[in-house]
């Protein structure tokens, strides 16, 4: 190990470090600096990152090794697999964990009971429960924005709107194999150390947006989305948890153990500081169901994405008129975000709509007439398959009611004999919104034969209002 005890400039660091690396086997050199200049020492780390094994600053050891080189190779490997963003963060609980627990206690997660399960809370509180000995979370991002929906299509009430992330192939099927491949590559970097990994794509009991923000991928917006300043928020997240220790001082200089906080507070990191939403509140004001009780807090129970995807039961009557023609998800709070003017068209062809606008905004009459076999065939490769036919047709009924056209009445009347009570009940609501002789006659006939309590309540609701 080379040791230096002097007042060093950056030029001194580079000269001494380069000479030391040349003298000591060209690589994996250990250098110890005793210098008050933390900036110079860390600059040396970054500049000579392919040579230095470890650096000791004022008696505090900072392992570099090929760590910076490994980071560079990791970024290259991730990009080769199609990922647009990659970052690493120490595998510790999210700094916003308490806020998450308060959100759960306020029951804003609605019927997503899995979010509050004790075993899943335990994993969020200690990532070692997921992967014993976990050291690092590798976070990746994959952009999915394809093309803007023409206003004539987006504003056509006879079509059902689908969130743009679901226009193409299911992102789980696209990302998971690539993350597994990246994890396999990672294991080859230290084959004798028995590196373990765990891959997640929107499925793990971790607060992935918080971890991705800590890894430098973006910042949390008032709409609770992760926003990349130069990319917007139209990207998927995936993670690899690993027992391999990887550190990136560019995003977390405080990870240099033993260094006093005040010494690093003025350090200029090569990664630019993240911006924020500032005084902007476009997303909050644009939400038609008022799902944001305050900035950075989403009440899922009022969110259109939750209502159309996660909610398995009956959509609250008071919220149905505000859902417009959304039948799967909602993009409103993202579309209005100023940062999304920087959103780039994805290179991932799998995310583009196969049938162009009919995949992005299918005619409601088509959705209302779907049977089980047709649903399974049409959405076999889509994330929409997750909600099954019942929820999609339920959502289409609400959209048809908001459309208000008698054109939809025959299709809705046919659904009054559907075996699923939830579909019959929402068809009742839609027919009540549309009105007309045909709708009223069909509803009157249903009252004579309907035996489900919830459907009868829907039938009685409008009569009570009248």
Which residues are part of the catalytic machinery?
202
The backbone torsions φ and ψ at residue 428, rounded to the nearest 5 degrees and listed phi first, read -60, -50
3-state secondary structure 242-307: ECCCCCCCCCCHHHCCCCCHHHHCCCCCCCCCCCCCCCCCHHHHHCCCCCCCECCECCHHHCHHHH
Q: Which residues of 132-144 are buried (b: 16+ CB within 10 A; e: fewer)?
A: eebbbbbbbbbbb
Question: Is 64 within 8 Å of 54 (Cβ atoms)?
Answer: yes
Q: Which residue has the tokens 């759960």?
A: 104
Question: At a CB cut-off of 8 Å and minimum separation 6, what does 191 contact?
Answer: none
CA-closest candidate to residue 217, choices 225, 205, 204, 226: 226
Give burial (CB, 10 Å; 0-12/13-18/19+) of 2: middle
Stated as kind and residue range, the H or E segment containing 193 is: none
Question: At a CB cut-off of 8 Å and minimum separation 6, what does 437 contact?
Answer: none
First to last CA, the chain: 88
Stated as kind and residue range, the H or E segment containing 208 is: helix 208-214
């Amino acid at each position: 190990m080379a040791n230096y005890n002097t007042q060093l400039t950056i030029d001194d660091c580079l000269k001494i470090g380069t000479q030391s690396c040349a003298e000591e086997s060209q690589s994996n050199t250990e250098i110890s600096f005793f210098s008050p200049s933390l900036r110079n020492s860390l600059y040396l780390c970054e500049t000579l990152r392919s040579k230095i094994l470890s650096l000791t600053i004022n008696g505090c050891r900072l392992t570099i090794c090929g760590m910076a080189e490994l980071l560079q190779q990791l970024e290259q490997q991730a990009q080769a697999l199609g990922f647009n963003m990659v970052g690493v963060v120490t595998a510790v609980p999210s700094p916003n964990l308490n806020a998450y627990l308060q959100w759960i206690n306020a029951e804003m997660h609605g019927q997503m009971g899995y979010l509050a399960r004790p075993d899943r809370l335990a994993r969020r509180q200690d990532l070692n429960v997921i992967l014993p000995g976990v050291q690092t979370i590798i976070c990746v991002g994959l952009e999915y924005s394809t093309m803007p929906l023409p206003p004539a299509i987006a504003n056509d009430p006879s079509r059902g709107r689908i969130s743009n992330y679901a226009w193409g192939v299911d992102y789980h099927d696209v990302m998971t194999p690539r993350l597994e491949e990246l994890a396999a590559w990672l294991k080859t970097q230290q084959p004798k150390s028995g590196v373990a990994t765990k891959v997640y794509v929107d499925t793990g009991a971790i607060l992935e947006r918080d971890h991705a923000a800590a890894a430098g991928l973006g910042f949390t917006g008032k709409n609770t989305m992760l926003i990349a300043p130069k990319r917007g928020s139209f990207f998927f997240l995936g993670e690899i948890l690993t027992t391999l220790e990887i550190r990136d001082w560019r995003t977390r200089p405080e990870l240099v153990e033993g260094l006093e906080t005040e010494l690093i507070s003025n350090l200029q990191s090569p990664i630019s500081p993240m911006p924020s939403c500032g005084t902007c509140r476009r997303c909050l004001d644009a939400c038609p169901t008022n799902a944001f009780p305050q900035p950075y807090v989403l009440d899922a129970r009022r969110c259109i994405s939750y209502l159309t995807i996660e909610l398995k039961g009956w959509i609250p009557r008071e919220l149905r008129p505000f859902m417009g023609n959304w039948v799967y998800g909602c993009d409103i709070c993202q579309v209005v975000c100023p940062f999304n003017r920087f959103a780039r068209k994805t290179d991932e062809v799998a995310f583009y709509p196969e049938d162009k606008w009919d995949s992005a905004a299918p005619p409601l009459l088509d959705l209302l007439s779907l049977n089980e076999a047709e649903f399974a065939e049409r959405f076999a490769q889509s994330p929409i398959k997750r909600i099954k036919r019942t929820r999609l047709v339920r959502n289409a009924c609400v959209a048809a009611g908001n459309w208000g056209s008698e054109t939809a009445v025959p299709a809705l009347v046919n659904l009054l004999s559907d075996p699923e009570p939830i579909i019959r009940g929402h068809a009742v609501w839609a027919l009540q919104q549309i009105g007309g002789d045909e709708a009223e006659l069909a509803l009157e006939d249903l009252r004579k034969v309907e035996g489900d309590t919830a459907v009868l309540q829907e039938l009685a609701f409008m009569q009570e209002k009248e």
